[in-house]
Amino acid sequence: MTRQARQLAVLVGLGLVCALVYGRALRRPDGHVREAEPKEDTAALVAEAPTSMHAQSQIASRQAQHAYATSLSWKRDPFTLGSSAEGALGLALVGIVWDAAHPMAMINGFPVVVGDEIEGYRVVQILQDRVMVVDDAGTYQLQLPP
């Protein structure tokens, strides 16, 4: 058997295994195929008064997670880049990856290290909470947004 024939046989075998696993995942314990279930609101689930203890504990857990998540107060959304307004320099310090040996900052969506130039400014120092840049007119400090 040639190498290509063996590879094809293995590929077909893996495809069959994947199809079997996927097919079993879609079946309920009673043998019926699952249908797409619409997502329901937690409050609606509570109003229906579920009969099993497992369902009740899941609802209580979801409500506790929702209450905890809404109690958190974020200073800014950590998942958005550029959430801070650009300063007078036209540079927006988005974040700092701090390592004493190799600090890195994200300015205007670009990663920079000490010595790099961005939009006419040279990065001269990266600290844990700010970045110092310099141009012909002077030295400027970029602060992390609150």
- Evaluate whether 86 touches 92 at the Cβ level (below 8 Å): yes
Q: What is the pLDDT of residues 126-144, one digit of tens each?
A: 998 899 999 988 899 998 8
Helical segments of the chain, H only: 3-25, 42-47, 53-71
Q: Which residues have a Cβ under 8 Å from the Cβ of 89 and sit 6 or more positions away?
A: 121, 133, 140, 142
Query: Of 11-15, 40-44, 64-68, which range is least confident?
Result: 40-44
For residue 27, the cross-strand partners are: 33
Q: What is the pLDDT of residues 20-33, one digit of tens each?
A: 787 777 766 665 65
- Report the pLDDT value the prediction gives residue 29, as an integer from 0 to 100: 61
Is the pLDDT assigned to residue 38 strictly greater than 60? no
- Report the pLDDT value the prediction gives residue 84, as an integer from 0 to 100: 46
Q: Specify the pTM.
A: 0.42
Spatial distance between the Cα atoms of 53 and 101, rounded to a whole number of angstroms: 54
- Report the pLDDT value the prediction gives residue 35, as an integer from 0 to 100: 59
